[in-house]
Amino acid sequence: MSDRSEGGPATRLDERYSGEGAEAVPWPQARGVLEKAGIFWLTTVRPDGRPHTTPLIAVWSEGAVYFCTGADERKARNLAGNPHVTLVTGSSDLHSGLDVVVEGEAERTGDEALLRRVAGAYTAKYGDEWRFEVEDGAFRHPDGGRADVYRVAPVTAFGFARGAAYGQTRWRFAPAG
């Protein structure tokens, strides 16, 4: 889907951190990593400024990463005070793969039409174990748990490629709107 500009994000290989022969990774390849990733690592900022990192599941849909969390969880409490986040996913293999880092602001969404589409993306990706109903502007799991849903549209993203040539790519996205 949309990457907020017709041509996609501005893409640049950072030669300082790239090997000879490395090329910038095209954004569609990085987006594919985000679409397929099973686990993401989310970093939020605690009220005292310390980072908080936790693994979670997430989906790429409609030009953004979506994740959910209970309102009383540490990450939700952190987001109430500071919406800046980093999401990381990729491969743990030392010699191959592509790691993708997304920086942006987590915005809670309660739009129920959007939430139904995102809930469908969760089920399509993770199966019935992660099937959510939409109720009162949030996800409701069949076990009764309620989860708020957050949207992170990339502001900047980085790709760290390993393999024949190691490379670091930066993508900068046009502001929304």
pLDDT at 6 over 80: no
Give the tokens for residue 49. Answer: 């400024």
Give Dmax over CA atoms of the chain in angstroms. Answer: 53
Residues forming a β-bridge with 139: 134, 147
- Chain-centroid distance of CA 106 in Å reads 10
- pLDDT tens-digit series, residues 44-100: 999 999 999 999 999 999 999 999 999 999 999 999 999 999 999 999 899 999 999
Residues forming a β-bridge with 68: 149
> What is the enclosing helix (H) or strand (E) of 106?
strand 97-109
Give the tokens for residue 83. Answer: 């919406």
Residues forming a β-bridge with 146: 140
**CA torsion through residues 125, 129, 133, 136, sign:** negative
- pLDDT tens-digit series, residues 104-138: 999 999 999 999 999 999 999 999 999 999 999 99
| Cα distance between residue 171 and residue 92, in whole Å | 22
3-state SS assignment for residue 125: helix
CATH of domain 10-172: 2.30.110.10
pTM of the model: 0.93
What is the domain partition of the chain in residue ranges? Answer: 10-172
